[in-house]
Amino acid sequence: MSATQPDSDIIASLADVTTRVLRYTAAGMLAWSLLLGGSLAWNIAKQREITLELATNTALANFNKDVAYRLWASSHGGVYVEPTEKTPPSPWMAHLPDRDLIANDGRHLTLMNPAYMLREMMQDHGELYGIKGRIVGIVALNPANIADPWEAEGIRQFANGDKDEVMEVSDIDGAPFMRLFKPFRMESSCQKCHGHLGFKDGEVRGGIGVSVPLAPYLAGEADVVRTMETTHGALWTMGMLAIGLIARRSHSRMAANTRMTLAIRDSEKHYRAIVETSSDGFWATDRQGRLVEVNNAYATRSGYSRQQLLGMSIHDLDAVQDSSQIAVHIADIMAGRARSFETRHRTRDDEIWDVEVSTSYFPGGDGRLFVFLRDISERKQAERILAESERRFREMAETIDQVFFIADLDYSRFHYISPAFLPLWGREPEQVMANPGLWPGWIHPEDRDTVMDFVASHIGSGEYGADFRVIRPDGSEAWLHAKSFEVANPPGGRPYVLGFHTDITQAKAVEAQLRDKNQALERSNADLEAYAYVASHDLREPLRNITSFSTLLNRRLQGRLNTEEQEFIKIVTDAANRMDCLVRDLLEVSRVGRSERDMHPVSLSDLAMAARDSLRSQMETANATIEIASRLPLVMGNDEELYRVLLNLFGNALKYHGARPVRITVDCRTDGPELWRIIVADNGIGIEQGKGYEERIFGLFQRLHQRDEYGGGTGIGLPICRKIVHRHGGRIWAESDGPDRGTRIVFTLPKMPN
């Protein structure tokens, strides 16, 4: 039985454990909830009693105050005050002969009895303390003193002697109040004002009530209740968590006990399953090395049956050790000195195979050695192949004339340096292997700081290289090209760097010679351009003389020359004019690159619009449109020369067209990470394919048509465009889909650096 498939009784046991834990947990949670809920309800009820008791005490205090105030006033027979609109003479005391008096100083006074005084005080100043007072009677002189139903019922109970006071909580004007009502008995001091009503001393003639607002008390009670609820909620949560934690731990312990029982009962079956399903071989031997148990994997690999193997010992199968060595090895295993090792076994067919052995000794009973045997023949073969590969690699590294090395990423330690280090650096590789800090001192002083700063800044970049000079012990200098490749994540090891040093001393010498020759060639080209400029400028003077004197001769001999003679003079004049145009165009070619304006950021869009504006008249003549299809970029260049390129290309498109309205489009797109590609396309006469005309039109003085076709021309415009584009670091070429299908002139320019 496996751990993932327990038998039915173990499943039932685990389910029973879970059921019991859940039952106890639910009971505990219910009891805890009831206990906390009952505590909260009891505390809230007690808080309500406290709130009502506080309100009752306040009502009693105010009631006693009102009674004391009334007793004082009645004991003095009332109080005389000056009558006002607010305090007029009481119509309910009109039967008293001394209700109204005139003081010695002539002031009119009227009598206020206690009921009158208390009522006016509550009306005028009751808002100062929010407590309402009221005196009502069985027989009311003032309608405002008529008792409401609750007060009337209280007076009845007072008169019957059932109660000495009544209380209730009720709403007054929408707010809760605590109402206290006590009997008002007839006293001798009351006879003056109320004796005519027929009451005797001690009889209940009404009641005195006090109404205390409960809102402040209820607000305080709400705060306390919220605190109680929060506290009880926290206690309930902590209790539930504690119950859950206890339940979880109990369940874990009980389940662990159950699983332990399962493990103990099924350990033998698990052991058998592991041994039989393992792809590695397995033995169990006694202390003498006799096999007492073996699995199918080892039987299959060795070629013996299990029955055959159980009658054999280690000595019968091990192809390396003899009996005495095996006995010593077993003793070491039993002493804990050897647990894993490699050896070789022999199969039934006498095949020798490599084995990795892992052992464990169990001393119980007679003692057993448990042995797992893994076939490592393929790994050993791979190791032998790797060793051979390393040998070949070392032979290669030691025969090439390049220096090859392996070092830590920071060059603090070199693991290998090829022998080519000696002829290139003039020093033994072992010197650097022993002291890695020596090699920077062998770099040429003029290059040393630059090289070391470069290396420090590029460690971790993956790949880097540099050229520098080294000084050999004999004082000679050598140029070398150093290239390093970082191996950041080698399998099972630390990062390292592979490096090569190549002797480029001769290449540097050739480079210097080429540089000198290029400088000489540049000077020669400059001289040739200057010569062409001067020569073309000087050639125009005699040509102008030929043209001028031919014209003057024709004018003076007007009418005396026959037709043939006039034709001769015309031929001379036309030839001189053509020669002047050629010289002038040659002068234009020589001027390209001689501008004194520096390279600066130039907007091709602005130049294209300026070139289009300068050709307005030709565009109207040819019924042409020039569309700038996309915004052209900023480039680094000479604005005069780039303007000439666009002007020549637009002019050619306007010149070489058919009967259709001319449509010229300028577009731009990226050409890799460093170049812009600008396309000037037209719908003109096109170029015949397959004859090399696309390249020929960029030759000096090359035309594809007769001189008098398409407005003439010397064939100098496109060569000038090519020279300007090349000077700006680009190239230019022509494309066409055939005659009458238009032409596309394409040129590239470098992008602006970031």
Could you read off the pLDDT of 221-269 as tens digits, one per residue? Answer: 888 889 988 998 999 999 889 988 988 888 888 888 777 776 767 776 7
- % of the chain surpassing 90 pLDDT: 20
pLDDT at site 447: 93
Q: At CA 424, angle to CA 418 and CA 429, rounded to 5?
A: 40
Q: CB neighbours of 148 closer than 8 A, spacing ≥ 6? A: 136
Of 661, 740, 741, 648, the C-alpha closest to 697 is 648
- The pLDDT value recorded for residue 13 is 72
**Closest-CA residue to 190 (of 114, 133, 120, 117):** 114
pLDDT of 659 over the 80 cut: no
User: Looking at the predicted structure, is the pLDDT value of residue 141 above 50?
Assistant: yes
Please state the length of the chain: 754
Q: Which two tokens stand for residue 263?
A: 């493990």
Q: Which residue has the tokens 């312990």?
A: 253
User: By the 8 A CB rule, do 187 and 201 touch?
Assistant: yes
Structure tokens, 490: 């080698």
* Residues 6 or more apart in contact with residue 717 via CB below 8 angstroms: 648, 651, 652
Closest CA to 653 of 588, 579, 599, 721: 721
Report the pLDDT averaged over residues 560-566: 79
Q: Which two tokens stand for residue 74?
A: 């009645």
Strand partners, 414: 407
DSSP three-state, residue 611: helix
Q: Is the pLDDT of residue 54 over 70?
A: yes
**Is residue 73 predicted with pLDDT exceeding 80?**
no
Percent helix, strand and coil across the chain, each to the nearest 5: 50, 20, 25
Alpha helices in 364-463 (DSSP H): 377-399, 421-425, 429-434, 445-458
Rounded Cα–Cα distance for residues 338 and 565 (Å): 125
**Distance (Å, rounded) from C-alpha 136 to C-alpha 45?**
34
Integer Cα distance of 309 and 300 in angstroms: 11
Phi/psi for 206 (5° steps) reads 170, -150
CA distance linking residue 715 with residue 695, whole number of Å: 13
Euclidean distance between CA atoms 570 and 564, whole angstroms: 10
pLDDT at residue 742 is higher than 80: yes
CA distance 580 to 588: 12
What pLDDT is attached to residue 713? 56
Residues 184, 187: Cα–Cα separation, whole Å: 9
Rounded CA gap, 322 and 319, in Å? 8
Candidates 318, 316, 314, 345; CA nearest to 330 is 314
pLDDT of residue 700: 64
pLDDT at 529 exceeding the cut of 70: no
Average pLDDT over residues 649-667: 86
Model confidence at 604: pLDDT above 60:
yes
For the record, the structure tokens of 540 come out as 């125009």
3-state secondary structure of 483: strand
pLDDT band for position 383 (cuts 50, 70, 90): confident
Structure-model confidence comparison of residues 219 and 659, the more confident one: 219
Least trusted range by pLDDT, from 78-82, 531-535, 686-690 = 531-535
Per the structure block, which two tokens stand in for 656? 């070489």
Q: Which two tokens stand for residue 52?
A: 């009502």
Measured distance CA(225)–CA(43) in Å, rounded? 8
Q: Flag whether pLDDT at 75 surpasses 70.
A: yes
Q: How confident is the model at residue 542 (pLDDT cuts 50, 70, 90)?
A: confident
Average pLDDT over residues 376-391: 83
Note the pLDDT of residue 94. Answer: 72
Distance in angstroms (rounded) separating the CA atoms of residues 246 and 22: 11
Check if the beta carbon of residue 636 is closer than 8 Å to that of residue 601.
yes
Please give the pLDDT value at position 236. Answer: 92
**Res. 15 pLDDT band, cuts 50 70 90:** confident
Mean pLDDT of 578-599: 65
Residue type, 495: P
Token pair 């751990």 is found at 3
Cα torsion for 544, 550, 553, 555, to the nearest 10°?
-90
Whether residue 261 contacts residue 287, with contact meaning beta carbons closer than 8 Å, is answered with: no
pLDDT at 533: 62
Per-residue three-class SS string for 660-722 = CCCEEEEEEEEECCCEEEEEEEECCCCCCCCCCHHHHCCCCCCCCCCCCCCCCCCCCHHHHHH
Q: What angle do CA 319, 320, 323 make, to 5 degrees?
A: 90
- Which pTM was predicted? 0.34
pLDDT mean over 157-176: 86
**Residue 184 or 666, more confident:** 666
Return the minimum-mean-pLDDT range out of 212-216, 411-415, 498-502. Answer: 212-216
pLDDT at position 501: 92
Quote the pLDDT of residue 668: 93
C-alpha 308/C-alpha 632 separation (Å) is 89
Tokens of 151: 């007060």
Q: Are 505 and 479 in contact (CB under 8 A)?
A: yes
Q: Give the phi and the psi of residue 236 in degrees, each rounded to 5.
A: -65, -45
CA distance 731 to 367: 89
Mean pLDDT for the chain overall: 82
pLDDT at 712 over 60: no
pLDDT in the model for residue 440: 93
pLDDT category at 120 given cuts 50, 70, 90 is confident
Q: Region 468-490: what's the mean pLDDT?
A: 91
Which residues are paired to 372 by β-bridges? 282, 358
Residue pointed to by tokens 């920071």: 410
Residue 731 or 573, more confident? 731
Q: Can you point out the beta strands (E) in 304-387? A: 340-346, 352-362, 368-375
Q: Are 603 and 552 in contact (CB under 8 A)?
A: no
| C-alpha distances in Å from residue 603, one per residue of 447, 634, 642, 648 | 41, 5, 10, 18
Q: Taking residues 670-683, what's their average pLDDT?
A: 90
Rounded mean pLDDT of 39-53?
A: 89
What pLDDT is recorded for position 472?
Answer: 93
Read off the pLDDT band of 386 (50, 70, 90).
confident
Could you tell me if 292 and 314 are in contact, meaning their C-beta atoms sit under 8 angstroms apart? no
CB 481, CB 467: distance < 8 Å: yes
Task: Note the pLDDT of residue 217.
Answer: 85
Angle formed by the axes of helices 717-727 and 639-655, to 10°?
150
Segment (H or E) for 473: none
Q: Among 411, 398, 403, 428, which residue's Cα sits nearest to residue 480?
A: 403
- With contact defined as beta carbons under 8 Å apart, do 304 and 397 qualify? no
Query: What local confidence, expressed as pLDDT, does residue 4 receive?
Result: 47
What per-residue confidence (pLDDT) applies to 555? 80
Mean pLDDT to the nearest integer, 473-491: 90
